[in-house]
Structure 1
Amino acid sequence: MRRGAGWMIIVVLWFAGVDVAWAHGAPRAPYEGPWWLAWNWSQPVVVVNLSVLCMLYAAGLCRLWQRSGVGRSVSKKQAGSFAMGMLVLWMALISPIDVYSDELAWMHMIQHMLLLGVVAPLLVMGSPFFVAMWALPLAWRRRYGDWQRWVQLWKPARYLLWQPLMLWCLFGLTMWVWHLPPLYEATLYDDLFHDFQHFTFVLVGCLFWRVLLDPVSRLRLGRGMAVLYLFLTSLHATLLGVFMTLAPKVWYPFYESRAPRWKLSALEDQQIAGLIMWMPACMVYAGVAAVLLWMGLREDEDKKGQRGTAPLDRNCSAGE
């Protein structure tokens, strides 16, 4: 692993403490108030961990910029990506999105898509672990360096954490398994299990996007392979969305008592969730693939332009 690979540990530490005291084994009661007040403040550990992660990143960023200059070791774009990722993560876990995910399957689907397709890539581009480590004492950073060198010598770990085919399979497996009715329904009855689901989404999502977007790793897919990687991933979301949309019966009976409050049948609610998985979610992967392809074409054109103007420049120099 390179130095940027360790951002995963921050995610693990954050989710490890989430909502242990709030695991009831029973679903939350339906929310009755106005939607703009439907903030989930009943999980203080989430708020505390979000705040700690932001403070560690800010402290590490300040120390890095004091040593090397603003925007040098960590660019302003990277810091902005982290800030946006944390904002979306906050919205997904604390805002009305989380409260209404217990009311409507399609709102729950939006929450999942934000974690997998928005939060994960933004966090990867922000290099949170590399930055946050600089907020820690020097002795801790040296221990991490020793641990990292040890991991680099253990080739299976380095291979498994980067191998694109394995990560593609892991990403698809995570998406499919967590939407199987027994597991999906279990998350609605147990807050701790639900938090574990969110943890796996963020962790696997970050692993998936790392081979495409990690700014401090030399191990990144080329443009062509990246486009193929994203296109094949969109097939996961497409197939799952199609099956959910066209299913003749309700997959998640939990919503049969909740969706009618919103003038929807449980099956209609499920169909909307399937369409969200089918269309907008796939557009995320297709959009990133299109940007990468466009960037690759621009680079090729620039190289051709430089080769085409080089003889003319030499002739002009000789003439002078």
Structure 2
Amino acid sequence: MKVLGIETSCDETGIAIYDNETGLLAHKLYSQVKLHADYGGVVPELASRDHVRKIVPLVTATLAQANLSAKDIGGIAYTRGPGLIGALLVGSSMAKSLAYAWQVPALGVHHMEGHLLAPMLDEPKPPFPFLSLLVSGGHSMLVNVQGLGRYEVLGESVDDAAGEAFDKTAKLLGLDYPGGPLLAKLAEQGHTGIYKFPRPMTDKPGLNMSFSGLKTFVANTIKSEPCDMQTRANIAYAFQEAVVDTLLIKCRRALAQTGLKRIVMAGGVAANKMLRDEFAKASKTDGFEVYYPSFEYCTDNGAMIAYAGCMRLAAGESTALDSKAMPRWSLETLSAV
């Protein structure tokens, strides 16, 4: 089955085609970063309008890239939620319209399930079960994954997600939007041991996470220091180190709690080099496996939606054409396949 995937949950328009026999056939991604940069963050109404402008040309271009036509598509997968309601409506409206016109089933995909399964787009695919660390701009979650749709959320962010904290801290350091990658680049010039920032909620039991207080700690440090370029780099390094260390502490705790021996990392923050390096070191000393998606599948993309949708469509699932977008949607409510 060849499935067209549509992702429009926030500020990227992603279109892809996945075949359950041969794999990913084509994918296109348009980022709205330049559109939102002047505002220092995503403006929901502007995001929705830009999705409207880009979605049809991208569907056409993706079909052409795969050398396919409408008659070759066996199903449409789209991001139903969570996300910005206006942006979600653009993708879901497009998907349902195509499904109706092409007489194929449509399926609304959970955005975080898409991220969770993104490492399946690469080889080798991580086998079930595993611990999933989902770290993006809007979410930080630890999930016990026993199979497709068999998810138990063990812990999540109670305020700022890791990616959100990266972007906000970058802004405090005077970096442009989106700040996360720029902060990581600045941190490469920082020195270890200059600052020691707190590891939030690691002194308490449980697996929930919080990064708002860490961001405030950084803000107070910036106010108390003469912030030349090297000082900013040192602060960026210490902040990044604190986030990575916190995530590693929580993952180790989750592995001990569940007995799992495999970590699958996904989401935009999974592209962070220090995060990958530290988890790779820990995997050798602690004896667990670690998997990541390719960099192009870390951020929002249509390929992960096409894959997740293809798995569920192939199992006989579909979503009614009169279904509503779900800007809030619990991962644990998904059905097992």
TM-score (ref. length: structure 2): 0.29
Identify the structure with bigger relative contact order (alpha carbons < 8 Å, sequence gap 6+).
2
TM-score (ref. length: structure 1): 0.30
Rg comparison, structure with higher value: 1
